[in-house]
């Protein structure tokens, strides 16, 4: 009789563990699906919102980012679903964004590198990281662009509008540089980029 009770308790414990594992797996799948709905341009839009006035319209954002209003609207919608933006106010949720930039971005949108070209410096080769790192002899990573003046290794930007948008907004440029260092930098570069991002996103 006692043996049966022990067996029954064990079966019950196993059932509880299976149930818990199923719930955890379901939650993980839901979160993964949400993050996978994001597109690279969504991060660019979120970063632009971070350095813009709260009253900035979709049309104004689109103009400043060289994107269409529909692209910006869709990006905001996806970012809101992912928990990076408040859907009603377009206010950026700094803590979730910081967590995603540091822990998820390099896996969701890994860098694509190419041949030697001319473009706009990024990652460790541009401020604010270039001010903290000693000069290197190898060619810098650059975003390819037709009027680029720096010769380096192609580092494909998150979205095609990045070089033009970065030129028009120094604050956005620095955030995109830090993001690229997290995506594709070496250990020290990633560490410095994460420190800079924490300082900027946790400052308010």
CATH of the domain at 72: 1.10.10
The answer as to whether 140 is a domain residue is yes
Q: What does the alpha-carbon distance between residue 82 and residue 96 come to, in Å, rounded to a whole number?
A: 9
- pLDDT higher than threshold 90 for residue 26: no
The answer as to whether 7 is a domain residue is no
* Most confident segment among 36-45, 107-116, 133-142: 107-116
Do both 77 and 143 map to the same domain? no
Do both 102 and 128 map to the same domain? no
The separation between CA 153 and the C-alpha centre of its own chain, rounded to angstroms, equals 21
Out of 107, 133, 162, a domain closes at: 107
On whether the CB atoms of residues 81 and 34 are closer than 8 A, the answer is yes
Confidence band, pLDDT 50/70/90 cuts, at residue 5: low
- pLDDT higher than threshold 90 for residue 16: no
Inter-helix orientation angle 40-50/94-103, to 10°: 140
Average pLDDT value for residue range 92-96: 97
> Which pLDDT value is given to residue 133?
85
Domains contained in the chain, number: 2
On whether the CB atoms of residues 80 and 87 are closer than 8 A, the answer is yes
Average pLDDT, the chain: 86
Domain with 132, as residue range(s), is 110-201
pLDDT, tens digit (0-9, with 9 covering 90-100), for 176-191: 999 999 999 999 999 9
């Amino acid at each position: 009789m006692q043996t049966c009770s022990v067996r029954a308790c064990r079966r019950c414990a196993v059932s509880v563990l299976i149930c818990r594992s199923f719930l955890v797996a379901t939650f993980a799948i839901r979160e993964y699906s949400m993050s996978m709905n994001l597109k690279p341009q969504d991060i660019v839009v979120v970063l632009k919102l971070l350095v813009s006035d709260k009253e900035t319209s979709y049309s104004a954002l689109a103009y400043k980012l060289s994107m269409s209003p529909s692209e910006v609207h869709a990006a905001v919608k996806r970012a809101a679903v992912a928990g990076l933006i408040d859907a009603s106010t377009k206010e950026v949720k700094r803590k979730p964004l910081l967590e995603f930039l540091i822990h998820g971005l390099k896996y969701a949108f890994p860098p694509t590198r190419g041949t030697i070209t001319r473009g706009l410096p990024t990652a460790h080769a541009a401020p604010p990281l270039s001010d903290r790192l000693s000069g290197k002899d190898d060619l810098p990573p650059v975003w390819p662009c037709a009027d680029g003046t720096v010769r380096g290794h192609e580092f494909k930007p998150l979205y095609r509008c990045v070089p033009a948008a970065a030129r028009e907004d120094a604050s956005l440029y620095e955030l995109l540089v830090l993001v690229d260092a997290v995506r594709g930098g070496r250990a020290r570069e990633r560490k410095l980029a994460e420190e800079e991002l924490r300082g900027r996103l946790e400052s308010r």
